[in-house]
Amino acid sequence: MTTIALELNGRELRRDVPARMHLADFVREEGRQTGTHLGCEHGVCGACTVLVDDRPVRSCIAFAVACDGQKVTTVEGYDGDPVMALLRPAFSRHHALQCGFCTPGMLATSRDIVLRFPEADEARVRLELSGNLCRCTGYVGIVAAIRDVLAQCSDGAHPEIAAMRAALQVAGGNGAVPAPTPGFAAFEAVDTGAAAVAAVPRGEAPAAEAAAPAASANGTRIQGQFSVPFPAADVWRFMADLPAVAACLPGAELTEHNGDRVKGRVAIKFGPMSASFNGAARLDRDDSTRSAVLKGAGQDSLSQSRANGDVAYRLTEVSPAVTRVDVDLLYSLQGPLAQFSRSGLVKDFVGRLIQEFGKNVARRMDPARSAGAPLPPARLNAFSMGVGVLWARIRRWFGRGDQVG
């Protein structure tokens, strides 16, 4: 963990953060400025663009620690900005937004165009916008809104904006792009004369073995633990029974089981996120350390989003009659559902799922219950779990408070 302090929308925010925490996650989860949207999470779509020391930066690939001591402005912090005072009504007037998902990043880039290119024509505007993708408008209204503001600012009609342009020219030394801030590479539009489109085939879910390295290299990590009132040897033996383990996981259903390999589906519904992943997984166990890794991959039948993940767990004997299970989940999402993968609420939700899984393991291992009729598969009560997650987060928010100053 590293302590950083930066200015977020006019107020100082100090936090202890992981070294690899991205700026987008920081402003959303620590600063609670959720207007910054996560789209591709690869720095391609531009939805996450914010201003760092008044320069547009892809917050999904910029590390929060690299912004220590700098000024970060998100869409919530534009109220006193003279350029935004013109851009926002122009966007509305020219119908430059529909769903609004790209709009926060689009506004940041538009502001940069207005300041850096006072004489920009339509071709230049379109070139500079090429790093911000919109799937609704066709860009016509966005380009028109920017050119409208450029026309309003001609001939020094807005002294404040003229002063901002002059300051930018001084910073750049020659009226071009200002010198890069240390720690960031400048994003510059390059006119290649052609557009290349890469298509990802919507085939079957990838094999678990091939997907595992990707999940290990990049992904979101969630750690948790639970305890069960049984000896470690008994719990370890139970965890080798994949059908029994799957029956303890809410929303999971096995369709095929062959030794240490399984196929099945996992249904998830939480707030706006609803998915049913079909995929395969393989379990690698180490009896000497009572640890294992379940490597899996799947694809959502509706959105075609892909998921890769490793679920590692280790058993620790707390006492002869109590066992603690430490769970380390590392996963990644690609596709439309990727925007939800790093949400704090989703992380809390998964943490609650781990606790529910632990309770179900204890129920299924209970000799009094196993002697009777078999228990039905675990069901996901999204409403009660959602209420529990939200209430826990509210208590944590008000209990922790902001560190300001």
CATH value at residue 251: 3.30.530.20
Alpha carbon distance 245, 292 (integer Å): 13
Beta-carbon contacts of 84 under 8 Å, excluding residues fewer than 6 positions away, are 78, 107, 111
For the stretch 147-191, pLDDT in tens is: 999 999 988 889 999 999 888 876 654 444 444 444 454 445 544
Shared domain check, 218 and 128: no
Q: How many CB atoms lie within 10 A of CB 16?
A: 10
CATH number, residue 158: 3.10.20.30
Q: Are residues 141 and 229 in the same domain?
A: no
Cα(313)–Cα(360) distance, integer angstroms = 16
pLDDT of residue 33: 94
List the beta strands (DSSP E) in 35-172: 49-52, 55-58, 71-73
Last-in-domain residue among 172, 194, 221: 172
Claim to verify: residue 49 and residue 147 sit in the same structural domain: yes
164 and 16, same structural domain? yes
Domain for residue 192, yes or no?
Answer: no
Helix (H, G, I), strand (E, B) or coil at 227: strand
pLDDT in tens, 28-58: 999 999 999 999 888 899 999 999 999 999 9
Instruction: Give the global pTM.
Output: 0.51
Give DSSP secondary structure letters for 296-331. Answer: EEEEETTT--EEEEEEEEEEEEEETTEEEEEEEEEE
* Alpha-carbon span 253 to 266, nearest angstrom: 6
259 domain-assigned = yes
Shared-domain flag, residues 50 and 159: yes
d(C-alpha 11, C-alpha 33), whole Å: 12
Mean pLDDT of the chain: 80
Task: Tell me the residue range of the domain where 296 lies.
Answer: 208-400
Predicted pLDDT of residue 344: 62
Residues 75 and 166 in one domain: yes
Count of domains for the chain: 2
Burial of 282 (0-12, 13-18, 19+ CB in 10 A): middle
Cα gap 405→400, rounded to integer Å: 15
| Alpha carbons 227 and 319: distance in angstroms, whole number | 11
- Shared domain for 163 and 37, answered yes or no, is yes
How high is the pLDDT of residue 23? 96
Give kind and range of the element (H or E) at residue 208.
helix 208-217
Q: How far is Cα 222 from Cα 215, in angstroms, rounded to an integer?
A: 13
Looking at the fold, whether 12 and 142 belong to one and the same domain comes out as yes
How confident is the model at residue 172, as a pLDDT?
56
pLDDT at 192: 44
Residue 143 covered by a domain: yes
CA max distance for the chain: 86
Same domain (yes/no): 150, 297:
no
The secondary element (H helix, E strand) that includes residue 254 is: strand 252-258
259: which residues sit within 8 A by CB, 6+ positions away? none
Given 172, 194, 227, which residue is the final one in a domain? Answer: 172
How far apart are the C-alpha atoms of 333 and 220, rounded to whole Å? 9
Residue 335 in domain? yes
Q: Count Cβ atoms within 10 A of the Cβ of residue 99 and give its class: 0-12 exposed, 13-18 middle, 19 or more buried.
A: exposed
Among residues 172, 197, 225, the one where a domain terminates is 172
In a domain, 188, yes or no: no
Within a domain: 177? no
276 membership: H or E segment, kind and range: strand 273-286
Euclidean distance between CA atoms 184 and 177, whole angstroms: 14
Averaged pLDDT, groups of 10, the chain, 405 residues long: 93 92 94 93 92 94 94 95 95 93 95 94 93 91 96 90 85 49 48 38 38 44 89 93 85 86 81 75 92 89 81 93 91 70 64 84 80 50 49 53 44
CA 99 to each of CA 28, 96, 162, 214, 221: distance values in angstroms, whole numbers, following the listed order: 20, 10, 32, 31, 30
Residue linked to tokens 């690899």: 20
**Domain-located, residue 193:** no
Nearest Cα to Cα of residue 39 among 97, 99, 101, 98? 101
Residues 225 and 146 in one domain: no
